[in-house]
């Protein structure tokens, strides 16, 4: 017996050696990157672009907490608290409220992939890049896309939207509440009621406005709304918030075809996030650390109070606008009533290159601002006052930087 075991052992050892030799039968062609042998270095900056924004110290600390399993009871409790926080900042009681493991673009796709089927009529307010993006996504789905195109810097009236509803009979209307590419805030009162008279669902993009501008999902008749983590919420980029009311849920759950994306299928996400009862179903591994941070960012807004948060953004932006006017700068959005409090767009002064101004402010003051995006590219400077960063002290810093940049940057003679 012993001899048989010894013989079997020799045989197994030779096989194991063969397996090891097979696994290592090729030489490595790519050496370890030299850059990864050095410590990670990240500069200290004040982020006053349209996003991402600086993390509050409490949110930053949350990102260093210990990892736990994404389906453990402690994590599920954190997810429940996050859902309650979203319901607060959205001002909704919708049970189908959750986090999407992806940026604001992913939230937009989650909404459109679940709500639209091939052939559905879709009406879009296109007065900036986000209407353009919604149209692009819907076209890929095979929806019949109808864009109400307006000049960047303008907003939509109830009459204009009603004309579109009557003409195209859409199942869904898209409006961006905060159009970050142009700096417009879209009034929302009355649009939900108007949509419902035409048996149309109302979808709102609040990525650039949530937490900085009043919005009331339930009271304003918004059927679907989404936002993202990296702007006023001051959480790391890469996750987003979304909510569907019962009307929108019925549209999703009565589809004739499956959504084009498995990853953003709201039926699976609802089960993962406990929106369909106590039983949860694993769909994907959620970004645990990012959820810690989001939980804390929502807690900070809850402690401060939404109305106080809105007021702080309004006051900081008024302070910024006062100084910009004193410097002789012109606002891209002509009507003061529709200027977005979280992101200000200023026309690049004649003779200047916007890149020179942005680079000077960054290089000499360690402050990030940005140029235009989409229809405002090359035309404007964009300054973000988002959440934790919306203070008069930060306004004074960026104003000083802009004033010096305009004095020192080259100016072409026209």
| Span 316-352, pLDDT tens digits | 999 999 999 999 999 999 999 999 999 999 999 999 9
341 with 385: CB under 8 angstroms? Answer: yes
Residue 7 has a pLDDT of 53
pLDDT band at 92, cuts 50/70/90?
A: very high
pLDDT at 6 over 60: no
Question: Mean pLDDT of all residues in the chain?
Answer: 94
Calculate mean pLDDT across residues 187-194: 98
pLDDT tens readout for residues 388-404: 999 999 999 999 999 99
Q: How far apart are CA 282 and CA 395, in angstroms?
A: 45
pLDDT at 278: 78
3-state SS of 15-41?
HHHHHHHHHCCCCCCCCCCHHHHCCCC
Domain ranges of the chain: 57-303, 305-408
Whether the predicted pLDDT of 273 surpasses 50: yes
Task: Note the pLDDT of residue 2.
Answer: 45
User: Between residues 156 and 21, which one has the greater pLDDT?
Assistant: 156
Distance CA 303, CA 41 (A): 33
Cα(59)–Cα(299) distance, integer angstroms: 10
Task: Report the Cα 385 to chain-centroid distance in Å.
Answer: 15
- Within 281-349, residue ranges assigned H as helices are 288-304, 306-326
User: Strand 370-371 and strand 380-384: pairing?
Assistant: antiparallel
Average pLDDT score over residue span 299-305: 98
The predicted model gives 157-169 an average pLDDT of: 98
Residues 37, 52: Cα–Cα separation, whole Å? 28
Long-range contacts of 255-258 (CB under 8 A, 24+ apart): 255/114, 255/117, 256/117, 257/117, 257/118
Which residue, chain included where needed, has tokens 């012109």? 330
The rounded distance, in Å, linking the Cα atoms of 359 and 58 is: 30
The pair of three-digit structure tokens given for residue 100, joined into one six-digit string: 């999407």
pLDDT tier at 20 (50, 70, 90 boundaries)?
low
Task: Give pLDDT, residue 25.
Answer: 86
Judged against a pLDDT cut of 50, whether residue 414 lies above it is answered with no
- pLDDT category at 13 given cuts 50, 70, 90 is low
Same fold, 57-303 and 305-408: no
Helix, coil or strand: residue 375:
helix
Residue 272: pLDDT band with limits 50, 70, 90: very high
Looking at residue 412, its pLDDT comes to 83
Topology of domain 57-303, CATH: 3.40.640
Q: Does residue 10 carry a pLDDT above 70?
A: no
Cis peptide before 228 (omega within 30 of 0): no
Q: DSSP secondary-structure letter at 66?
A: P
pTM of the model: 0.92
- pLDDT-based confidence at residue 16 (cuts at 50, 70, 90): low
Q: Write down the H helix ranges in 91-157.
A: 104-115, 129-141
Q: What is the mean pLDDT of residues 239-251?
A: 98
How many angstroms separate the CA atoms of 399 and 410, rounded? 18
So what CATH class is 305-408?
alpha beta
Structure tokens at 30: 């790519």
Angle at 151 between CA 149 and CA 155, to 5 degrees: 80
What tokens appear for 117 in the block? 């089927």
pLDDT score of 279: 83
Q: 411 or 113: whose pLDDT is higher?
A: 113
Is 144 assigned to a binding site?
no
pLDDT at residue 15, rounded to an integer: 56
- For residue 114, the number of C-alpha atoms closer than 13 Å in the C-beta half-sphere is 28
pLDDT exceeds cutoff 90 at 277: no
């Amino acid at each position: 017996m012993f001899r048989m075991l010894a013989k079997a052992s020799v045989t197994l050892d030779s096989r194991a050696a063969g397996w090891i030799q097979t696994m290592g039968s090729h030489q490595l062609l790519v050496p370890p990157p030299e850059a990864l042998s050095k410590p990670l270095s990240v500069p200290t900056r004040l982020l006053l672009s349209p996003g991402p924004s600086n993390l509050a110290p409490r949110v930053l600390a949350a990102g260093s907490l210990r990892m736990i399993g994404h389906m453990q009871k402690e994590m599920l409790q954190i997810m429940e608290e996050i859902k309650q926080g979203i319901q607060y900042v959205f001002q909704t009681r919708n049970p189908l409220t959750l986090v999407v493991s992806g940026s604001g673009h992913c939230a937009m796709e989650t909404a459109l992939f679940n709500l639209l089927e091939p052939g559905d009529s879709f009406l879009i307010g296109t007065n900036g890049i986000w209407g353009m993006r919604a149209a692009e996504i819907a076209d890929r789905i095979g929806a019949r896309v109808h864009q109400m195109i307006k000049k960047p810097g303008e907003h939509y009236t109830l009459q204009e939207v009603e004309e579109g509803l009557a003409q195209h009979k859409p199942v869904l209307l898209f409006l961006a509440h905060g159009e970050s590419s142009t700096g417009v805030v879209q009034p929302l009162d009355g649009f939900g009621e108007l949509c419902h008279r035409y048996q149309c669902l109302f979808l709102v993009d609040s990525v650039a406005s949530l937490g900085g501008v009043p919005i009331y999902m339930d009271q304003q008749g918004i059927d679907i709304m989404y936002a993202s983590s990296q702007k006023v919420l001051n959480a790391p980029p890469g996750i987003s918030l979304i909510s569907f009311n019962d009307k929108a849920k019925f549209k999703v759950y009565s589809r004739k075809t499956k959504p084009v994306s498995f990853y953003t299928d709201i039926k699976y996400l609802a089960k993962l996030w406990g929106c369909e009862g106590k039983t949860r179903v694993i769909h994907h591994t959620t970004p645990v650390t990012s959820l810690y941070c989001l939980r804390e960012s929502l807690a900070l807004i809850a402690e401060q109070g939404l109305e106080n948060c809105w007021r702080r953004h309004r006051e900081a932006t008024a302070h910024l606008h006062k100084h910009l006017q004193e410097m002789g700068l012109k606002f891209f959005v002509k009507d003061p009533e529709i200027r977005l409090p979280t992101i200000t767009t200023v026309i690049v002064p004649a003779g200047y290159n916007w890149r020179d101004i942005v680079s000077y402010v960054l290089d000499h003051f360690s402050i990030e601002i940005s140029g235009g995006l989409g229809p405002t590219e090359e035309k404007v400077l964009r300054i973000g006052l988002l959440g934790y960063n919306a203070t008069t002290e930060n306004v004074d810093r960026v104003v000083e930087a802009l004033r010096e940049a305009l004095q020192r940057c080259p100016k072409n003679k026209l």
